[in-house]
Amino acid sequence: MAVVQFFFAHCDVDDDEIDGTFLTDGKYLDLSLPGRMIIINKNEGKAGYYCEIHGLRCIAKPGRSPIIQEQFNVETLKWSGVQDPVTRANASSLRFEKVFVKDSVLAKFEKRPDLFTVYPESGGVSFGGQWTVGHSHRVGRDYIAVELKKLYEGNLDHVIIHWHRFAVNPPDINDPAIRQLSNVAKRSKRIAEALIELGRNLTELWTLSSGHTIQPVELTGYDERNLRYHGFWENSYLFDIARHIPWDMGEDAFFQRCISLEVAIIEGLKEGNLRKLLHQLGVPRESIKELRSLKLFYAIVVYSQIAINAGLDLIDETEEVNDRRKEIQPDLNRSPFINTPLKPLFRLHDFRINAAHRGDTVQKLLEEHQIDRASLRAGWGYLLDKFYDDLGEALVSCQANIVG
């Protein structure tokens, strides 16, 4: 493929503007030159000539990469785990040779989803049709393995150098300490899959209680067919929670991620339809009129959980379920709250609320949730990992509580 410019022009000229000696029979000229064609014809029935010029020129041709100004003169680089220094000349012979980088390499690309496509599950990146770092896969929590030959093929110098800055010694992929740690993409995928399944369960409960159908997206905010067709990470909310998590993540970044998690998990819950679902189940309107999305979801889990534990039919014996609920928690909007799997969601909500108004409240918040501030001196990444794991487990557990 090349970039080619085509051009065309035409005009009428008077007789005295054309030297007739160049025309065949004094009437026409058909001249082909490299990249150009000139046509002149004597007008019939009137004076003058009609002239055309057709032309083209090659603006740029591709070489081993897209059309660019940058030259492929990347310096010789020493990669950990590779015996000899690597140049473009010898990189092509390093088939299946892998190098490892920290997933912090993705940070600059994650900040610009309008320009770059990041693939959280593989750790790959592409920039339109211009360059791609593919043939990669995640290793453990923090590492990305990249095929060296493919990294050098068609990528610009600054791309290769950027990846090299994050190169590390090859980790022991058989080390259980590395293999057992999930990366953020796996954690995020578990949350996304749980939200999809939760949508199915709530939809089933809706149908049982009303005799009518509803789409999961109208309850949880997620359309399974759309996510599976376009990919989970095309959804901006899910992509935001799949960004890499450095161990040394700062406090500000941690609270910002809490906001992203709440947007992805809680803000998608449809308050109106969750309230309507509870009405269909026969839950008294007065008992839920002050509840918002998260507590409405909590109410659904509570009623389902009580029915399951007591062997009651949630649809036909709602009055008995409601009486039992009032014995434990008279007011659904106030403590004492019934023990459900939703504690991690309420914890997330507390952190999200405090994200914009921190200061002295952070220490109090940590104490309320029994989090040792000293454990965060090296960074907030470990705590965020725990948030992800607890949220995923909570959403999975809710499925059993709703369906039984």
Percent of the chain surpassing pLDDT 70: 95
- The number of beta carbons lying within 10 Å of the beta carbon of residue 311 is 8
The pTM assigned to this predicted structure is 0.80
Question: Is the confidence at residue 250, as pLDDT, over 70?
Answer: yes
For residues 266 and 242, give the distance between their C-alpha atoms in angstroms, rounded to a whole number.
Answer: 16
Per-residue confidence (pLDDT) for residue 309, from 0 to 100: 92
For residues 241 and 220, give the distance between their C-alpha atoms in angstroms, rounded to a whole number.
Answer: 17
Euclidean distance between the first and the last CA atom of the chain, given in angstroms as a whole number = 59
| Mean pLDDT, rounded, for 205-234 | 95
- Work out the pLDDT band at 216, boundaries 50, 70, 90: very high
Question: Is the confidence at residue 171, as pLDDT, over 80?
Answer: yes
Per-residue confidence (pLDDT) for residue 381, from 0 to 100: 96
> pLDDT, tens digit, for every residue of 278-288?
999 999 999 99
Per-residue confidence (pLDDT) for residue 337, from 0 to 100: 87
> pLDDT, tens digit, for every residue of 299-308?
999 999 999 9
Is the dihedral angle over the CA atoms 91, 95, 99, 104 positive or is it negative?
A: positive
> pLDDT, tens digit, for every residue of 64-109?
555 444 455 567 899 999 989 998 888 888 888 999 999 999 999 9
Tokens of 81: 């785990």
Per-residue confidence (pLDDT) for residue 394, from 0 to 100: 96
Q: How far is CA 34 from CA 38, 58, 163, 294, in A?
A: 11, 12, 45, 72
- Residue-averaged pLDDT of the chain: 90
Any idea which of 37-41, 138-142, 346-350 has the lowest mean pLDDT? 37-41
Percent of the chain surpassing pLDDT 90: 66
- Work out the pLDDT band at 385, boundaries 50, 70, 90: very high
For residues 234 and 153, give the distance between their C-alpha atoms in angstroms, rounded to a whole number.
Answer: 26
| Mean pLDDT, rounded, for 126-141 | 92
> pLDDT, tens digit, for every residue of 43-58?
887 888 889 999 998 8
For residues 266 and 88, give the distance between their C-alpha atoms in angstroms, rounded to a whole number.
Answer: 49
Long-range contacts of 75-81 (CB under 8 A, 24+ apart): 75/161, 77/160, 77/161, 77/164, 79/148, 79/164, 79/167, 80/167, 80/168, 80/169, 80/170, 81/169, 81/170
Residues with Cβ within 8 Å of residue 48, at least 6 apart in sequence: 12, 13, 14, 15
Any idea which of 41-50, 129-138, 187-196 has the lowest mean pLDDT? 41-50
Per-residue confidence (pLDDT) for residue 73, from 0 to 100: 59
For residues 254 and 257, give the distance between their C-alpha atoms in angstroms, rounded to a whole number.
Answer: 5
Question: Is the confidence at residue 404, as pLDDT, over 60?
Answer: no
Per-residue confidence (pLDDT) for residue 259, from 0 to 100: 94
Question: Is the confidence at residue 25, as pLDDT, over 70?
Answer: yes
DSSP class of residue 99 equals E
Question: Is the confidence at residue 334, as pLDDT, over 90?
Answer: no
